[in-house]
Amino acid sequence: MISIQKLLLYNFFIPSIYSVLVIISITFTVISNPINAFFLMPAFMGCILFVFFRKLQLNKFSNYHGEFERKQETINLLTESIREKKNLLQTLPFKCQRVSFLFNVSQRLIELIDSEEVLNFLIKTLEELFPQADTILIFDFDNQNYSMNLVRSFNKTKFILEEKKGDELDNWVLRHNCSLLIEDLTKEFKFDYSKINAYTKRGAHSFIASPIAIGTKTLGQVKVESRNPKFFSLDDSRILRNICDLGAVVLERAKLFNHAKNLVIQDSLTSLFVKEYFFKKLKEEIKSAENENKMIGVMILDLDDFKSLNDNYGHAIGDAALKIVAEVLSKISKDSGCLASRFGGEEFVMYISDCNQKKLLRISEKIRLEIKRAGINLRREKIYFTVSLGAVLYPRDGIEPISLVNKADNLLYKAKKEGKDRVCFTG
């Protein structure tokens, strides 16, 4: 098809060429027979007029055509704008629904002050937000060891989640501290899909991931997987990041709250619980043991000759001895389901839930021997110290926290009188 520009040139040059040919013919005719010029002049003038008016017509057509193109361009822009607005109107209810969802999530999140509750809420929220996803993973990040740990998961597949410390995708999100959207892992040049368990074990193709971070401080991260390629959209990635940002703020607040709480209930030197908290927890434990008909072991221990240790080596060594005792008690508390506390000065107290006489004596002896073997390195010398312990059982030796501790304290002084570095027990 001939373009408009070519057509205009064609319509202009044809009459022009025709006029030139007529003029040449008239010129030769006049030269050969001047009489004929009189009769050919009208034809000549008509040809000139034809060319003149034809040119005017073409100029007018060209102006109309330019105006037509401008109008057509305006129509095309308006049509495209209408199409975009139509698409926006079609997606607007979905976007409004997600904004409403995000608002509700934020309102519920700000009510939580416990880290475990926050993590539980996040995994349930993501399950609700992405019901068709195959796997959802939430990792906690340890800034000191620079490592991740899987703390919450949702998995529809039959395969066991092996990447408890994260994989290459998780490390990428961690390093760059930004969101990740992968439509199809097999077509993603940044990663070797053959080395990623999510693909090789669970057949996941598409992913969205986001850090749980406040600025440059990373608290963890979230990854959502699907076995279907192109399952997640940019909007999915954005709302995941919004939820993670909200979660980060609430998690940080929960950690600060927990730290402040620990400052109140923990001893600053040994990091063991303070006496008031110990009695509160022991009272709760006694109530539980009463309902379940179980016994509780209670022991109190004291460093032998602690004043001499301070006088001979200084208070720094005395503090070091207290910390060693606290470390031994903390370790055994974790292993045995106990709770240890600094009772005051060089005295410590501990209860052991679901206990009997044999278990109480075994744990008491273990504490005594581990402390005796520990020692403190002071230049070329190793300083050893011992503890004495008194141990009782609930309900045989008492039913109130204060009476149990007082009886154990009496047995402690009995152990001191009998030579120290020993356990005294009511049985």
Over residues 43-52, the pLDDT tens digits come to 556 666 666 6
Q: How would CATH label the architecture of 275-425?
A: 2-Layer Sandwich (3.30)
User: Alpha helix locations (H) across 167-314?
Assistant: 168-176, 197-200, 234-265, 275-292, 306-313
pLDDT in tens, 371-425: 999 989 888 889 999 999 999 999 999 999 999 999 999 999 999 999 999 999 8
Least confident of 20-34, 246-260, 338-352: 20-34
Residue 418: its pLDDT value, please? 92
User: Does the pLDDT value for residue 12 go beyond 60?
Assistant: no
The beta strand positions in 289-346, using DSSP E, are: 296-303, 338-344
What is the pairing mode between strands 381-383 and 376-378? antiparallel
227: pLDDT confidence band, cut at 50, 70 and 90? very high
| Residue whose C-alpha is closest to residue 425's, from 342, 344, 331, 359 | 359
Q: How many CB atoms lie under 10 A from the CB of residue 260?
A: 9
pLDDT in tens, 267-288: 889 989 999 999 999 999 999 8
Residue 215: its pLDDT value, please? 87
Q: What are the residue boundaries of the structural domains of the chain, listed by start?
A: 4-82, 115-263, 275-425
What is the value of pTM for the model shown?
A: 0.59
| Residue whose C-alpha is closest to residue 128's, from 243, 32, 217, 289 | 243
Higher pLDDT, 335 or 355: 355
Higher pLDDT, 42 or 221: 221
Rounded distance between C-alpha atoms, residue 278 and residue 272, angstroms: 10
Least confident of 38-47, 121-130, 299-308: 38-47
Residue 143: its pLDDT value, please? 83
Residue 28: its pLDDT value, please? 54
Rounded distance between C-alpha atoms, residue 29 and residue 186, angstroms: 84
Structure tokens at 141: 């990040």
Instruction: Give the C-alpha distances (Å, rounded to integers) separating 243 from 134, 141, 153, 265.
Output: 19, 17, 16, 32
Backbone φ, ψ for residue 45 (5° rounding):
-65, -40
| Residue whose C-alpha is closest to residue 139's, from 160, 156, 163 | 163
2: pLDDT confidence band, cut at 50, 70 and 90? very low
pLDDT in tens, 58-84: 666 666 666 767 777 787 787 777 777
Rounded distance between C-alpha atoms, residue 149 and residue 334, angstroms: 20
User: Does the pLDDT value for residue 32 go beyond 80?
Assistant: no
Q: CATH fold of 115-263, please? A: Beta-Lactamase (3.30.450)
Task: Give percent of the chain with pLDDT exceeding 70.
Answer: 80
User: Does the pLDDT value for residue 327 go beyond 90?
Assistant: yes
The H-or-E segment that residue 273 falls in is none
